[in-house]
Structure 1
Amino acid sequence: MYLESSVLNNRLVALGCCALLLWILKAKAQALSLPVVLKGLEKRVKNRIALVKYPFTAKQTIQEAITQAKGSPVQLISPESLVTFVTSSKHIKDIANAANDELSLHAAAKKILKPEYTMNGFNWHDKRGVDGIGFVRALRTLLTNHLPHLTASIRKLIDDTFKEELGDGVSANAMHIIKTVATKVTAYSFFGPDVMGDEKFMDAALYYNHDVMLGSEVLRLCPQFLEPIVGTFIPFFLRRQQTFYYGLTAIFEKRLSDPDKSKKHDDVFQWIIDTSPKTNTWTPGRMAFEIMAIWFGSVEGLSTTLLFAVYNLCSHPEYMIPLREELGGKAADDFYKTGEGLPLMDSFLKESSRWTPVESVSTRRCALKDFTFFDGTHVKKGDWICVPVGAMLSDAENYPQPDVFNGFRFADPKIFDKEHSVQPEGPSKFTDISDKWQVWGTGKILCPGRFFVGFAMKHIMVHIVNNYEPELVDKNSRPTLNWRTWTLPKPGVKMNFQPRV
């Protein structure tokens, strides 16, 4: 009798559990009705499709979202994370004032560039300044102050490079010739004259950025679980990275072991040594990694921005006469002496950067912890914050008639005997910083090499304007292409550098 009662009780308990389970399922079914389930599924499918399309549509998607938002923050899904885009001065100020342990450029850059696989094993800290930021003083102060002393050597180097690349002809691959001259100018300024004759090292320096971007793109297109596997093989295909790294290491070792302390080196190499941490001193290999990171940021932006400026010069040859008039006057003499000036050339370069920005997103930050803006906009740990600089540069509220290329938009109107500037805020320089001009970054993390970039671009443009009548061989073909948030030079574009008559 007891056994039967026990069995019955167990059955009743089981029946009760089943009833409870059915009730829960029914409640869930009512809460998650078919339309709700389908709506959730539809959202997931749309997000997946958006991620697949992202490399091809990112610029347009961001532009449309920012236009519709009218100054409010926008959140969009990207392959890396959920991204919060901000454009207002107050939001940008919040980014600028964020602590190093709140928002990190380094963490975002690691996610994009995959340096442990593409930069010969370099794996920097997420938090800025953990092992020193001496490179900022090396570039911002020491290199900038040294620019006038580089003028004569840089001018000769540019002239020799164009003659070597063109030979007896006038036609050249546009991207190759501009990148070659930009690489040599940067190498001379960074490494000094000693390495210029090392063809293997200079070849690695020329293709270093291309290899980093190619390797990182392969990894970004891979499923995440395959990244460590594919990444292991990437270095076998990027042999020039090793050549560049070991070449840099050898130079540092030679400098550090040179018993002749009286021999003075005025270049970025030496300034990195001089400004590196005195405690927990850097090895030559660590110094080489620092140069590799700086090199990527310097040469890629310099060469591509310069190439787009040359393209704009081809599209708007009417600017050749006023630019040549400027180069024939006192402004050119002042530039050669001080490394600064040439307001018309400066404005043309700035307008080219506005018209064809290499990168439509700047001020990338990864949240190292939950972050909240002044208006309550919340960003979770691991998600990103960015400034959509491309959309801002084409906003009529920031730049009147943004769809018109105005090469002297940023120049002082007094040069043309006019009273009013095109820009409401008045004239400005290519290297200036403002909430509207986020090309160089914001807050504590501004591009310290921007003055060198402006100096180098002007010298190369001066040479082209003074000596050639540049024109695209195929005037009807677009010389650029879009990929992710970048505008990139289209490979194979030919340009004629007809000697100036």
Structure 2
Amino acid sequence: MRIEVAIDKRCARLLVEDDSVVLHLYPAANVAYLTYSEAQYSIVYSQRIILYVFRLLNANRSNKKMLVLPVFVTLLCLVYISCSSLLSKACFQYLVQCRRLSSAIRERFLAYRYLFNGTSIIEDKYRKSAHEPFKIMTPEGKITMITSQRHIRELDKAPRHVLSLHAVAKKPKYTMHGFEWKDQRGIEGTGFVRALRSLLTTRLPQLIPSLKGGVQDQVATEISNEKVLKNGWRRVPLFAASKRMITRLNCLVFFPRELSEDPSFVKAALEFPEDVYLAAETIRILPRNIAPFIAKLLTHNHRSTSVMYEYLSPLVKQRMENAATGSGDYNGIQADDCVQWLIDTIPKSEVWSVDRLVGEIMAIWYGSLHTLAIATTYALVDLYSHPEYLASLKAEVDGPLFARFETTATGLPELDSFLKESARLSAFESTGIRRHALEEFKFSDGLRIPKGTEVSVPYRTMMRDDEYFYNALTFDGRRFLKNVTGPESVEKDSSMLSEPSDSWLVWGAGRISCPGRFYAVVVLKLVLSQILTGYECELEEIKGSRSVQWRTALIPKASITLRMRPRAKD
């Protein structure tokens, strides 16, 4: 085969003589002409490919080895032409010349690429944006990303009937026993916020003893379930263990003892968030006419959802009847759990059905479990990836500050700082403060969010930017300790993990920040403190990335393993 290349300012010609093929590349016109067996076909490529091949040919005309790519492109064209023999020439020419079809295919490819590389796409766009708004293509449409403090403040102040938080995730119709949120939520949606932010937070000191005991028992159970290795080590799959741990602790807070100690209910509660997530993603991706069937198949006919509903429905019904008669008793015991707090905070002007309240409970459960389990996993990975902090952190939780934490649910400043740094560098969600436009919204500078699209903040990438945090890509477990020496930066304004700020958007911003954040911080501190004081641990080497990307989430790999053994008593 003889290969000949001819190049001028406008065109590159690649001749493969034996096959009577000539490929003409015109970068400026974004077109390639292929001459084959005396027939000419016009192929519309993306400009990036045309320019790349053109420059490659221009730079390597004397180097035949570097011509592999253009030859491969030519052969691809030949195969494509051969396979199109069943089509008429007119039909084939029409298809390959149709720019709209090419553009649509490319857009769909980029949209579905987002499913598996969402975080990477956002990071790349952010670096190129120079802190200006940018758009991300997803299978459902475009999301506008904003990063300026002015835009974030305006987003927070936008009317709820225009930019809605709940409309972002309003379609659990086939995933949570038919429960469906409204696009807008006003006074009727404030009950669960008060239940978590006020009632749960004020009870944290009373809950800490049972939560601490739950951590100790669950860690011992996880270790005892694994085989004993040399020197007493046991290999614990970290993410799976964290999910079981958080399920147990959340059950202690959410439900009465007879449910939190029922193996069938606990198993369903553990599986429920993953089943809902799997079903929801199936429904979002697949055509509507088959999505419900596939979702049922993947979740065993929503088995975990049905089990939770069957347990919760009679409980909620009896509790609501007791509330109507002025009695807070349940089986002779004064009810004091999340179920009861939600009942007690139902707006007086609203009439909620049993199904409605069960739906709210299951929705809150879904949000409270998987996020906290992932945060726990990454916190432990960071802890044992940076052993230089182990001694000082253990000294803090072994000292008098832990007693203060147990009585106030606050304190342990070094552990707090370490967890905050873990949340900053190991944020498992790339975006936050996400809103769906029920109507077109216009920012003060003219930026428009069209109706039916979404707007969000890429806070994970922002927290890894030197403009917001000094030496941002370096893990510094004491970064948020007050009165530390070092370069001044915005993170010195606050050291508490639970406090949202303009530069700390993990919990949201302004009017809508996570109501359960105080509980989450207490759980994280309890888990790390009990493992620090009770066990020796080593993180096994993680090969490659420690996470799997799905949309904007970074989910820990199931293969992450922590070797554990009881600490020798002094």
TM norm structure 2: 0.77
Give the Å deviation of 1:424: 5.2
Gaps of 5+ in 1: 1-33
Secondary structure at the aligned position of 1:67 is classed as helix
Structure 2 partner of 1:205: 269
Distance (Å, rounded) in 2 between the aligned partners of 1:187 and 1:199: 11
Could you tell me whether the CA contact under 8 Å between 2:440 and 2:449 is conserved in 1?
Answer: yes
Aligned to 1:137, which of 167, 191, 194? 194
Distance (Å, rounded) in 2 between the aligned partners of 1:222 and 1:412: 50
Distance (Å, rounded) in 2 between the aligned partners of 1:450 and 1:318: 28
Distance (Å, rounded) in 2 between the aligned partners of 1:236 and 1:179: 20
CA deviation map 1:4-40 (0-9, x unaligned)? xxxxxxxxxxxxxxxxxxxxxxxxxxxxxx9998655
Could you tell me whether the CA contact under 8 Å between 1:117 and 1:234 is conserved in 2?
Answer: no
The worse-fitting range, judged by mean Cα deviation, of 429-438 and 234-243 is: 234-243
Could you tell me whether the CA contact under 8 Å between 1:359 and 1:485 is conserved in 2?
Answer: yes
Residue type of the partner of 2:530? Answer: H
Distance (Å, rounded) in 1 between the aligned partners of 2:544 and 2:108: 33
Secondary structure at the aligned position of 1:215 is classed as helix
Secondary structure at the aligned position of 1:439 is classed as coil
Distance (Å, rounded) in 1 between the aligned partners of 2:525 and 2:321: 37
Structure 2 partner of 1:409: 479
Distance (Å, rounded) in 2 between the aligned partners of 1:246 and 1:90: 47
Aligned to 1:274, which of 328, 341, 344? 344
Gaps of 5+ in 2: 1-42, 48-96, 229-233
Could you tell me whether the CA contact under 8 Å between 1:409 and 1:422 is conserved in 2?
Answer: no
Could you tell me whether the CA contact under 8 Å between 1:480 and 1:487 is conserved in 2?
Answer: yes
Change (3 A) 1:131 1:49: same
Does 2:522 correspond to 1:455?
yes
Give the Å deviation of 1:406: 0.9
Give the Å deviation of 1:241: 0.7
Pairwise CA RMSD? 2.3
Could you tell me whether the CA contact under 8 Å between 2:187 and 2:347 is conserved in 1?
Answer: no
Could you tell me whether the CA contact under 8 Å between 1:413 and 1:421 is conserved in 2?
Answer: no
Aligned to 1:55, which of 105, 108, 115? 115
Secondary structure at the aligned position of 1:454 is classed as helix
Structure 2 partner of 1:9: none
Give the Å deviation of 1:233: 5.7
Give the Å deviation of 1:210: 1.0
Give the Å deviation of 1:475: 4.3
Change (3 A) 1:132 1:483: closer
Structure 2 partner of 1:359: 429
Structure 2 partner of 1:223: 287
Give the Å deviation of 1:205: 0.8
Structure 1 partner of 2:62: none
Does 2:243 correspond to 1:179?
yes
Give the Å deviation of 1:306: 0.9
* Structure having greater relative contact order (Cα 8 Å, sep ≥ 6): 1
Could you tell me whether the CA contact under 8 Å between 1:365 and 1:385 is conserved in 2?
Answer: yes
Could you tell me whether the CA contact under 8 Å between 2:548 and 2:557 is conserved in 1?
Answer: yes
Residue type of the partner of 2:316? Answer: F
Could you tell me whether the CA contact under 8 Å between 2:115 and 2:138 is conserved in 1?
Answer: no
Distance (Å, rounded) in 1 between the aligned partners of 2:486 and 2:131: 31
Change (3 A) 1:365 1:473: same
Change (3 A) 1:466 1:123: same
Could you tell me whether the CA contact under 8 Å between 1:364 and 1:387 is conserved in 2?
Answer: yes
Structure 2 partner of 1:437: 504
Give the Å deviation of 1:42: 4.3
Distance (Å, rounded) in 2 between the aligned partners of 1:248 and 1:480: 34
Residue type of the partner of 1:102? Answer: V
Could you tell me whether the CA contact under 8 Å between 1:413 and 1:419 is conserved in 2?
Answer: no
Distance (Å, rounded) in 2 between the aligned partners of 1:478 and 1:52: 21
Residue type of the partner of 2:137? Answer: I
Residue type of the partner of 1:333? Answer: A
CA deviation map 1:262-312 (0-9, x unaligned)? 642221111101011323321222111111111111111111011100011
Secondary structure at the aligned position of 1:171 is classed as strand
Distance (Å, rounded) in 2 between the aligned partners of 1:153 and 1:279: 35
Aligned to 2:385, which of 315, 318, 324? 315
Give the Å deviation of 1:474: 3.6
Change (3 A) 1:321 1:422: farther
Secondary structure at the aligned position of 1:385 is classed as strand
Distance (Å, rounded) in 1 between the aligned partners of 2:408 and 2:398: 17
The structure with more helix, counted as a fraction of residues: 1
Distance (Å, rounded) in 1 between the aligned partners of 2:400 and 2:410: 12
The structure with more strand, counted as a fraction of residues: 2
Give the Å deviation of 1:103: 0.5
Structure 2 partner of 1:189: 253
Secondary structure at the aligned position of 1:115 is classed as coil
Residue type of the partner of 1:163? Answer: A
Give the Å deviation of 1:237: 3.0
Aligned to 2:553, which of 465, 486, 494? 486
Structure 2 partner of 1:17: none
